Amino acid sequence: MKQDKLLSHPDRISTYFKTEIPVLTVVTITGLVYNIGMLAGPYYEGRLAQCLYDIMNSRATAGDMLQLAIVYLLVIALVQISRAIKRFSVRRFANNISRKMRRSLYNSLVHADQKQLSDENLGSLLTKAISDVDACSEGMRKFTTEVFDTGVVMISYVFMLVHYDWRLTILACLFTPLAYIAAAAMKSKVTAANAAYKKSASSLSALTMDRISHAITYRVYGREEDRNQNYEGALQDYEKKSAIANLFEGAMTPLYDAIAMLGCVMVLYFGGRNVTGTGWVVWNIAAFTTFLSCFTKLAVKTSHAAKLFNAVQKAAVSWKRIRPLMKEPVDDDTDLESVPVEKADLSFHDVTAGYQDHPLLQHLTFTAKPGQIIGITGEIASGKSLIGRVLIGEAGYTGSIQINGRELRDLTSLQRISFITYMGHDPELLSTSIADNVTLGSRIDPDMYLKMTSLDTDLKEMQRTSKDTAGEAGSMLSGGQQARLALARTLSHARSILVLDDPFSAVDRQVENEILQRIRKDYPDRVILLISHRLYHFPEFDSVLFLHDGTATFLPHEEMMRQEAGYRSLYEKQMGEKDDEE
């Protein structure tokens, strides 16, 4: 199924209306037929009442009544058919808006940087993606519906009332503005109540996710009861704020109805005088019945319009919450299965990089050729992982980073990932099957890469297969198995440059040896940047990038041992520990 095109200017409400012009055209036509046709009800009700009166006075027959009733039924049938089409179209309009808003929000979230995502908790994001989008689309639906069901029909009713008695119309409608004034007075309360409700919903969602994700931790430390009480408090707060929000939105409708219906007193009194011939105009029973029916329907529509004001305020609160996330779309034309892997040179020249304008590494200069493995190491917090994040665009840099002579910052997102495959320090495993974690939906054989990372043996011992689930974020696997599963995924999607951040942190040396031998054999023409604090294999690598004192030294292992005391100390300490183990 082909997806809708991502919207330009998704942060504008008008954008969504413009994309639904064909549906809104149908809504307009059927809405006008339906709502103007609504005048037929009061008109024919008055005619039928007058016909009944005439029959009782021998001035009409039952045949006249039957003929009038048939015409009335045909007109009402046409009106109701138009109403059904309009309602279906309005619902389709709302569903389309909801889908497009969710797609825009999804596109924004999946392309947001880590800092932006970390500023909001998961509960808040879930509430915005589900509840707030629903509130916005529902508010737009109600607005579109009431434009016709309230706006057009109210104008039609007013014109009919004026036709019968303009003085009585003005007198009876004096109470109508009071309903709008009452709705306007509730604006700030509706806005505040819904803002508090949304905030409480976000907190409740966050606590729910936290309680589920860290259930074992709370159980081990005996904090379950405390967390349960905390959750109960959040649940009570949510229920309270939800009730208040619903009270201001829905419970005020009877008040609006009562205010609008006060005009009926005027209609009964002055309309009765018109029937007896002592009023402003002379009416018969049909005119009185039609006028009273019209005004009653007008009063009901007035209360609906007042309620609409409150519903729009509720939607406005939700729109304010999600609007900062509704950004210009990013095109995900990133299917690499048909893009060939080409050999690539990688060079850093006088590169400075860091987080949030704080440089962590300065003056990095090195070059890597196809087929070379570069070992990257340094003390804790020396910036090892930063190099990988710079290459995938998660951190900025100054200086020059070139791939095959092309500046990294000038490459498109597709061009960048066509050269670079990245395995981060966090495995970031899916909660689906082990095979899915390797393939990510690609048409590849996962078992081949599980064997390459020696994970197939572990699965056999566990009496499991690649079709079995990895558990929530890989919880069914050990730390070393999680790292190897992430490595299998990386190798299955290997491009020209492999960035492996600490892939062997929880793997024994024998397995590490086996995996490295397979990588060298199966990827002889790739640039491999292997970030690690374990230096056992660094003598085998083509060069070493040693990070220290905010900069780096790039040399072969033997020269690095002679020139950099810090590196020599790290290496000799690990080799001493290795001898002790043996």
Which strand ranges, in their side-by-side order, compose the sheet holding 551-555? 420-423, 497-501, 527-531, 373-378, 543-548, 551-555
Higher pLDDT, 312 or 519: 519
Is residue 244 situated within a structural domain? yes
Q: What is the DSSP letter of 575?
A: H
The residue-averaged pLDDT of 18-28 equals 88
- Residues 221 and 303 both lie in one domain: no
Instruction: Tell me how many domains the chain contains.
Output: 3
- Clarify whether residues 372 and 474 are in a common domain: yes
Q: What is the pLDDT of residues 124-181, one digit of tens each?
A: 676 777 778 888 888 888 788 777 666 666 777 788 888 888 898 888 888 777 766 7
pLDDT at 37: 75
Q: Stretch 563-575: mean pLDDT, rounded?
A: 91
Residue 265 has pLDDT above 50, yes or no: yes
CA distance 530 to 374: 6
Asked whether residue 416 falls in the same domain as residue 461, the answer is yes
Shared domain check, 550 and 512: yes
H or E element at residue 243: helix 224-250
Q: How far, in Å, CA of 195 to CA of 192, rounded?
A: 5
Whether pLDDT at 412 is above 70: yes
Q: Looking at residue 355, what is its pLDDT?
A: 78
Q: What CA–CA distance (Å, rounded) separates 222 from 219? A: 5
Cβ-contact 50, 60 below 8 angstroms: no
Residues 531 and 391 in one domain: yes
Same domain, yes or no: 199 and 161: no
Same domain, 159 and 232: no
Q: Does residue 475 contact residue 485 with C-beta atoms inside 8 Å?
A: no
In this structure, is residue 2 part of a structural domain?
Answer: no
Per the rule left: phi > 0, alpha: psi between -120 and 50, beta: everything else, 372 is: beta
Q: Among residues 282, 303, 319, which one ends one of the domains?
A: 282
Per-residue pLDDT, averaged over 426-438, amounts to 87
| C-beta pairs of 183-191 under 8 Å, 24+ apart in sequence | 183/252, 183/256, 183/306, 183/307, 183/309, 183/310, 184/309, 186/248, 186/252, 186/310, 187/309, 187/310, 187/313, 189/248, 190/245, 190/248, 190/249, 190/310, 190/313, 190/314, 191/313, 191/316, 191/317
Same domain? 54 vs 190: no
Tell me the DSSP string of 162-224.
HHH-HHHHHHHGGGHHHHHHHHHHTHHHHHHHHHHHHHHHHHHHHHHHHHHHTHHHHHHTT-H
> What is the model's pLDDT at position 2?
46
Q: What is the pLDDT of residue 3?
A: 52
- In three-state secondary structure terms, 422 is strand
**CATH code where residue 484 lies:** 3.40.50.300
Beta strands 543-548 and 373-378: pairing type? parallel
**What is the per-residue pLDDT across 24-46, written as a single tens digit (0 to 9) for each?**
888 888 887 877 777 777 777 77
Predicted confidence (pLDDT) at residue 95 exceeds the cutoff of 80:
yes
Q: What is the dihedral of CA 255, 257, 261, 262, to 10 degrees?
A: 10
**Shared domain check, 251 and 112:** no
Residue 155 CA from chain centroid, whole number:
39
Residue 401 confidence (pLDDT): 96
pLDDT digits (tens, 9 = 90+) for 178-197: 766 766 666 677 777 877 88
Tell me the pLDDT tens digit for each residue of 489-506: 999 999 999 999 988 877
CA dist., res. 471 & res. 474, Å (int): 5
Cα angle for residues 138, 261, 270 (degrees, 5° grid): 145
Relative to beta strand 397-403, strand 346-355 is antiparallel
Q: What sign for the dihedral angle of Cα 257, 260, 262, 263?
A: negative
- What share of the chain in percent tops pLDDT 70? 87
Q: Tell whether the model's pLDDT for residue 303 goes beyond 90.
A: no
Helices (H), 20-152: 21-37, 40-56, 62-110, 114-118, 122-127, 133-146
State pTM to two decimals: 0.63
Domain of 25: which CATH number? 1.20.1560.10
Nearest-angstrom CA–CA distance, 72 and 66: 10
Both structure tokens of 278: 């002592």
508: tokens are 């024994």
Torsion of CA 532, 534, 539, 540, to 10 degrees: -70
Tell me what the mean pLDDT of segment 213-237 comes to: 79
Burial of residue 265, with CB atoms counted within 10 A of its CB: 0-12 exposed, 13-18 middle, 19 or more buried: exposed
Which of 54-63, 332-341, 547-556, 567-576 shows the highest mean pLDDT?
547-556
Predicted pLDDT of residue 407: 95
Residue 187 falls within a domain, yes or no? yes
Which two three-digit tokens encode residue 171? 């007198």
Neighbours of 31 (CB within 10 A): 26
> Which residues constitute the domain of residue 68?
11-165+285-330
Q: For residue 436, is pLDDT > 60?
A: yes
Laid out side by side, the sheet with 406-407 consists of 358-368, 346-355, 397-403, 406-407
User: Which residues neighbour 402 within 8 Å (Cβ) at sequence distance 6 or greater?
Assistant: 345, 346, 347, 349, 408
Average pLDDT taken over every residue of the chain: 83
Q: What's the pLDDT at 1?
A: 39
Same domain, 435 and 548: yes
pLDDT attached to residue 119:
63
β-bridge mates for residue 552, sequence order = 547
In the predicted model, is pLDDT for residue 479 greater than 90? no
Same domain, 84 and 226: no
Say yes or no: 313 and 432 in one domain. Answer: no
